[in-house]
Amino acid sequence: MNFDLNEDEEMLKALTERFVANTYDHTTRRIFQAEPGGFSGKNWALLGELGLIAAPFPEEVGGLSLDATGIATIFEALGRGMVVEPLAEASVLAGRLFALTAPEALSNPWLEGLLSGEKRLALAHAEGAARDSSPWVETSAHEQDGAYRLDGSKPYCVSGGGADGYIVSARLAGAPDDPQGIALFLVPANAAGLARREWPMADGSIAAALTLEGVLVPKDHRLDGGISEIDEAQQFANLARCAEALGVMERMFQDTLDYVRTRDQFGAALGSFQAIQHRMVAQYAAIEQSRALLNLALVSHEAGSFAEAVSGARAWISEASIALAHEMVQFHGGMGVTDELAIGAGHKRLLVLSRWPEGPRAALDRYAARMN
């Protein structure tokens, strides 16, 4: 099967790689991550100018309607650069979900800013009692005075730090674990009754814990969707996460390969020892297996088995990426876990990618359930 990129995909790849080459090294990455929100506002604006923020949005609202291959191409390149800007969470997940479900009266004031990067949304769905992307939602929504009143908490709003608004899932009816009766609402960050506490994740990205107490949103702030629309959006976001993880794996492997070729021990290069060579070959094979599963997901996009293929790729890559990260850190010794090297940063990023929004076993269970 031919996996060569077409002309448009090659252009996207070159554009993303140029952004990484011109903007990122390990030192600047640490500087960017120390900024409010956990990333560079200047870089976010640049991504907007380059059209990479808008690219996953539907073409009819000003995006490029990127397919699976386009999304994977961009995020693999971003992963190799270990880029900290939250494109997967803000653009592929929350932004695209909003564009597909918002009524026209609501989308008009927001879309232009979302496409350019002037505004940013985050998905606030996961709750404290939920486990591994389960549909558990206790946050309630009730009609009151011609609006919707929202009450509840969303402690795990990834990339929610500094966001301009949140897509909040809330229950109109049913038990907390009932997938039916869940609605989506756009809640501006400055809404009365909304409290936000920001907290750092393991990789340094900034999440937000939201508390909603009597938050009133107009009726036209209800989006046309529920749990099925979240699941569909998460499929593309998980594809982006898999591609990013593959890019991080490639970067960590290449950095380690350069290291073992030059690091002397007992009068010889570390990479000359057969045991080291065998372990590096095993991790090279894991990268190629990960790429094969990602490619399977790409060719399944139009074949009706996309969800299964993404879950399968995620289950494998989540486990394989952490195993690779542990090996690369060990080859570097104690300095592999410090902030001085990109190896440690890559390990932390892979840890988050492999566990959010669900762990590898949950992804495997999801894959098995869809196959039966």
Q: What is the pTM of this model?
A: 0.95
Give pLDDT, residue 6.
80
Give pLDDT, residue 2.
61
Instruction: Please choose, from the candidates 30, 32, 75, the residue with its C-alpha nearest in 3D space to the C-alpha of residue 341.
Output: 30
Give pLDDT, residue 1.
60
Question: What are 334's two structure tokens?
Answer: 């104690």
Instruction: Please choose, from the candidates 264, 189, 237, 307, the residue with its C-alpha nearest in 3D space to the C-alpha of residue 87.
Output: 237
Give pLDDT, residue 16.
96
With H, G, I as helix, E, B as strand and everything else as coil, classify residue 341: coil
Helix, strand, coil proportions of the chain in percent (round to 5)?
55, 15, 30
26 C-beta neighbours (distance < 10 Å), count: 16
Instruction: Please choose, from the candidates 314, 312, 130, the residue with its C-alpha nearest in 3D space to the C-alpha of residue 227.
Output: 130
Q: Which ranges of the chain have pLDDT less than 50?
A: none
**What is the C-alpha separation between 358 and 372, in angstroms, rounded?**
20
Question: What are 220's two structure tokens?
Answer: 């036209």
Preceding omega of 86 cis (within 30 degrees of 0): no
**Which tens digits make up the pLDDT trace of 32-47?**
999 989 999 999 999 9
Q: How far is CA 58 from the centre of its chain?
A: 19
Instruction: Please choose, from the candidates 169, 165, 160, the residue with its C-alpha nearest in 3D space to the C-alpha of residue 141.
Output: 169
Half-sphere exposure of 263 (CA within 13 A, CB side): 14
Computed on alpha carbons and rounded to an integer, the radius of gyration of the chain in Å comes to 21
